Amino acid sequence: MKENRKYKRVKEVCSKASSNIVLNKIEDNNGDYALYGASGFVKGVDFYHQEEPYIGIVKDGSGVGRVDVYPSKSSLVGTMQYILPKKDCSLKYLCYALRGLNLSKFVNGAAIPHIYFRDYGECVIPVPSFSEQQHIVSELDLLQSLIDKQQTQLKEYDNLTQSIFYDMFGDPVENEKGWEVKKLGDLCDVYRGGSPRPIEQYLGGTIPWIKIGDATKGDDIYLHQTKEHIIEEGLNKTRYIHSGSLIFANCGVSLGFARIITFDGCIHDGWLAFDNISNEIEKVFLLKSLNFCTQYFRNIAPDGTQPNLNTSIMKSFKQIVPPLAVQNKYIEKIEAIEKQKAAVSKSIEDTQKLFNYTMDKYFG
């Protein structure tokens, strides 16, 4: 029961140290010890490392507030913070307890989001006996391992989709199988989105506002809804497209994302829309073909701060057009895989709910 728990402040059960390693100082190093950043492994280094496993917290920038356990004989970049448990907590239990605090609520700053130990160090966490800590960790580890396995299964289905495409059609850029080729601009209309600015002044309406973030999770063929909506006054500053349109992220790290929307809505200038698609090419096949060419598109994108494909480049893209019977055979296989992926995704959702419930039971 929560009322019988023993609580202590975070700063009483762990010690904190910040990494002073700066990436530009270790560019030429390639040592035996792992160096980690907010996105994971960076490279091998030969200098300071932590002898024992420890907790690392992203203290500023991308991923701020994320908490993970890192292995012994590794180190962290300067945007990370070391946390080591004292005698009251086991390492893994402390990691879960810190996650239970939801450190993102302590984030300060907009340009460079950051958190300080002095803020969350005053928070209290439950500190049960070591045997109960072990029980809690085992329960949460089991649920997390199930989620990890299911997510791996989803990635394997995605790899299978790619493999089937290559087996049936080859590389669509090289076109070693000699399929008929047409310019994309001859197969459909290509439009670029537009962004009313500042966007904050146009939010809060009823017209779906399609952002890249709406397409980063779940179904990787169709997009069914958006998180945000804009007011009618923004319509003349953006691109309004209809249900069934194929949209394609044309810039930045998201370049290559493609979805078929199932509603009418507006796209910003980070999207291209492909509309009035010829009956020579199936929409789902076109989407998967564009996905397959993501690296090619990145390579041909004009130089700049980030890759960016304009409508002229995409209209000139030479798209393979296999016979419709072959395209439909591929789509049948993809649809079967998508059903399996939907089942796995539902299982992940259910397991995640159980994980969240368990976290709340022990740390809420």
| Last residue of one domain, picked from the residues 68, 102, 128 | 128
**pLDDT value, residue 39:** 72
User: Do 229 and 142 share a structural domain?
Assistant: no
User: Do 257 and 185 share a structural domain?
Assistant: yes
Burial class (CB in 10 A: 0-12, 13-18, 19+), 131: exposed
User: Do 57 and 7 share a structural domain?
Assistant: yes
Alpha-carbon distances, residue 185 vs 69, 191, 291, 310, 318 (angstroms): 50, 10, 17, 12, 9
User: Do 219 and 315 share a structural domain?
Assistant: yes
User: Do 295 and 246 share a structural domain?
Assistant: yes
Query: From CA 186, how far away is CA 178, in angstroms rounded?
Result: 19
User: Do 139 and 122 share a structural domain?
Assistant: no
User: Do 297 and 217 share a structural domain?
Assistant: yes
Alpha-carbon distances, residue 336 vs 49, 156, 160, 161, 361 (angstroms): 48, 14, 12, 10, 38
SS (H, E, C) the chain: CHHHCCEEEHHHHEEEEECCCCHHHCCCCCCCEEEEECCEEEEEECCCCECCCEEEEECECCCCCCEEEECCCEEECCCEEEEEECCCCCHHHHHHHHHHCCHHHHCECCCCCECCHHHHCCCEEECCCHHHHHHHHHHHHHHHHHHHHHHHHHHHHHHHHHHHHHHHHCCCCCCCCCCCEEEHHHHCEEEECCCCCCHHHCEEEEEEEECHHHHCCCCCCEECCCCEEECHHHHHHCEEECCCCEEEECEHHHCCCEEEECCCEEECCCEEEEECCCCCCCHHHHHHHHHHCHHHHHHHCCCCCCCECCHHHHHHCEEECCCHHHHHHHHHHHHHHHHHHHHHHHHHHHHHHHHHHHHHHHHC
Residues 6 or more apart whose CB falls under 8 angstroms from that of 240 comprise: 207, 264, 265, 266
Domain coverage including residue 143: 129-177+323-364
User: Do 356 and 227 share a structural domain?
Assistant: no
**pLDDT value, residue 159:** 92
| Last residue of one domain, picked from the residues 128, 145, 163 | 128
User: Do 151 and 104 share a structural domain?
Assistant: no
The token pair at 204 is 């809060």
Q: Tens digit of pLDDT per residue, the chain (364 long)?
A: 455 678 999 999 998 865 554 444 444 456 777 777 777 776 776 666 677 888 988 888 778 889 999 888 887 777 788 888 988 899 999 999 999 999 988 888 767 788 888 889 999 999 999 999 999 999 999 999 999 999 999 999 989 999 999 999 999 999 999 999 999 999 999 999 998 889 899 999 999 999 988 887 767 899 999 999 999 999 989 999 999 999 999 887 888 889 999 999 999 989 999 999 999 999 999 999 999 998 899 888 876 656 678 899 999 999 999 999 999 999 999 999 999 999 999 999 999 999 999 999 999 8
Chain mean position to CA 98: 22
**pLDDT value, residue 140:** 98
Phi, psi of 63 (to 5 degrees): 75, 15
User: Do 118 and 133 share a structural domain?
Assistant: no
**pLDDT value, residue 2:** 55
Provide the domain count of the chain. Answer: 3
**pLDDT value, residue 304:** 60
State the CB neighbour count (10 A cutoff) for residue 180. 11
CATH of the domain at 49: 3.90.220.20
Query: From CA 207, how far away is CA 187, in angstroms rounded?
Result: 28
User: Do 105 and 133 share a structural domain?
Assistant: no
| Last residue of one domain, picked from the residues 113, 128, 143 | 128
The token pair at 157 is 């289905």
User: Do 317 and 187 share a structural domain?
Assistant: yes
State the CB neighbour count (10 A cutoff) for residue 106. 18
pTM value is 0.77
Half-sphere exposure of 132 (CA within 13 A, CB side): 9
